[in-house]
Structure 1
Amino acid sequence: MVVGAENLEFLPSLPDGAFTLVYLDPPFNTGRTQRRQQMSMVRAAAEESDRVGFGGQSYKTIKGALASYDDAFADYWEFLEPRLREAWRLLADDGTLYLHLDYREVHYAKVMLDAIFGRECFLNEIIWAYDFGGRSKRRWPSKHDTILVYVKDPDGYWFDSEEVDREPYMAPGLVTPEKVARGKLPTDVWWHTIVSPTGKEKTGYPTQKPLGLLKRMVAASSRRDDWVLDFFAGSGTLGAAAAALQRRFVLVDQNPEALEVMRRRLADHL
């Protein structure tokens, strides 16, 4: 299902715990000027708390002077936080969130997700490494994105390593022929090229992510016929991955260009 709507207005219409996987690729907030951000946790009574930390202690998130940003949003974090809270609500008890950001914002997002989900629900920091684009001579060139992985229940989340695509061994002579033929499980560093500007996968949407990345997430963290959600859907790559792996999907975006790309790309599955 593809929905044309402002996501924060639409999400409350969806039932609690409906999705086994939520993937989010929000605007990266590039070009912003950060002034200051403060966030702290103070212990609070259970009825006043908004998270439970180690040892079952209840905490309340106290936000100080949030940063001012001069990118697309006056305050990126006021934009993102309520949407992450909706993601938590919409996840099934065995569900997993994949939040895709770049180096500019991911460290702040980690603190925010610790507050919303609880630090014990942090599962992985995945590095998507690629080798494409310009080369700075004034610093180490930036050639990766970061995907933060959180689960709803650290003792009961779904993860099926047998369904994950395999990678070739870097030193095949050191393992058995059987292992070489099967390949090895990926680690938390995923080497994968970007979408080729001239390849068949290219939709023309500027922030399109490779299908292979999303198929790996969907295969590992959902089952056949499960529901998956992306409410910054863009070119609809999560939907394409879900359709290929026989999952059901909801994609939300308010950009008319994105909606047209998705409906064209997913015409056989809508």
Structure 2
Amino acid sequence: MIYVDPPFNTGRAQVRRNLRSHRVDPEDADRRGFKGRGYKSVLESLSRYDDAFEDYWSFLLPRLELARDLMTESGTLYLHLDYREVHYAKVMCDMVFGRDCFLNEIIWAYDYGARAKRRWPAKHDNILVYVKDPKNYHFDSAEVDREPYMAPGLVTPEKAARGKLPTDVWWHTIVSPTGKEKTGYPTQKPMGLLRRMVAASSRPGDWCLDFFAGSGSLGAVAHALERRFVCIDSNDQAIEIMRNRLPHARVIED
């Protein structure tokens, strides 16, 4: 399986700052804490990349064509975007894979971030799912984590205890800014999302590929699920993060 999480073409630089706070005298503080104690924040790291493309089609199309060439006949592609380019990408994937190879559009809904006041707040991403061969793709629903029923009283106790299979709308929080999973990469995706894709669309020992690897979440999940993986990125900070996060992986530099 291939997971592709390319830049979303937001038109701006993606930036993440990692700050560490320590106690200081009140006159040197830049913020206050419990009982008026003074704290000062120190910038430990800064990561960024530009996310603006005048011709997004020519940027993404050859990569999707190569992805299709690399996939086995039973392979699956997950293309992770948002509202800015997903409608163009859907047409592009129909052209590259064929409309009959479209499997799903998954909506990843989350609940964190700024709240717009002049429109409905954008709180979801779009994940397009395409297969190489619509008659021969691998999908194992038995390996997918189950979710609690929203109305467990309407089903039998056995069903409520087992949970239900996810639909094409996935409710999952973002990577916690203070959680153990956080690496500091600006666009890191939670392992829970990737785990569901890898479990459903690959078998132990299969190869998984991410050629916009970023923080290496695909590699971390694939390793935990006993899959082989290839993670590719050209960003120096992404490579350094993956070195630390995936110490068991062999690094090949070009």
TM-score bracket relative to the smaller structure:
0.7 to 0.9
Q: CA deviation at 1:71?
A: 5.7
Matched, 1:268 2:220: no
Matched, 1:80 2:60: yes
Counterpart position of 1:228: 208
Name stretches of at least 5 consecutive residues in structure 2 with no aligned partner. Answer: 13-49
Task: Select which of 192, 212, 231 maps to 2:172.
Answer: 192
Higher relative contact order (CA 8 A, sep 6+): 1
TM-score by length of 1: 0.77
Matched-pair contact (CA < 8 Å) for 2:11–2:53: no
Deviations 1:41-85 (A, max 9, x none): xxxxxxxxxxxxxxxxxxxxxxxxxxxxx9633311111100000
Tell me which moved more, 175-184 or 94-103.
175-184
Matched, 1:204 2:217: no
Matched-pair contact (CA < 8 Å) for 1:243–1:269: no
- Paired residue secondary structure (1:267): coil
Q: CA deviation at 1:137?
A: 1.1
Deviations 1:125-169 (A, max 9, x none): 000000111111110000000000000000110000000000001
Counterpart position of 1:240: 220
Q: State which structure, 1 or 2, has the greater radius of gyration over its C-alpha atoms.
A: 2
Letter in 2 for 1:239: G
Task: Select which of 116, 128, 134 maps to 1:154.
Answer: 134
Equivalent-residue separation in structure 2 for 1:71 and 1:245 (angstroms): 31
Letter in 2 for 1:134: A
The list of structure 1 runs, each at least 4 consecutive aligned residues, that deviate by more than 4 angstroms after superposition, is: none
Equivalent-residue separation in structure 2 for 1:182 and 1:244 (angstroms): 23
Equivalent-residue separation in structure 1 for 2:176 and 2:241 (angstroms): 17
Counterpart position of 1:113: 93
Equivalent-residue separation in structure 2 for 1:89 and 1:268 (angstroms): 28
Name stretches of at least 5 consecutive residues in structure 1 with no aligned partner. Answer: 1-20, 33-69
- Paired residue secondary structure (1:268): coil
State the number of aligned residues: 213
Identical-residue share of aligned pairs (%): 77
Counterpart position of 1:126: 106
Letter in 2 for 1:210: P
Equivalent-residue separation in structure 2 for 1:23 and 1:129 (angstroms): 18
- Paired residue secondary structure (2:198): helix
Aligned CA RMSD, in angstroms, stands at 1.3
Counterpart position of 1:66: none
Equivalent-residue separation in structure 1 for 2:139 and 2:51 (angstroms): 36
Counterpart position of 2:197: 217
Task: Select which of 109, 115, 123 maps to 1:143.
Answer: 123
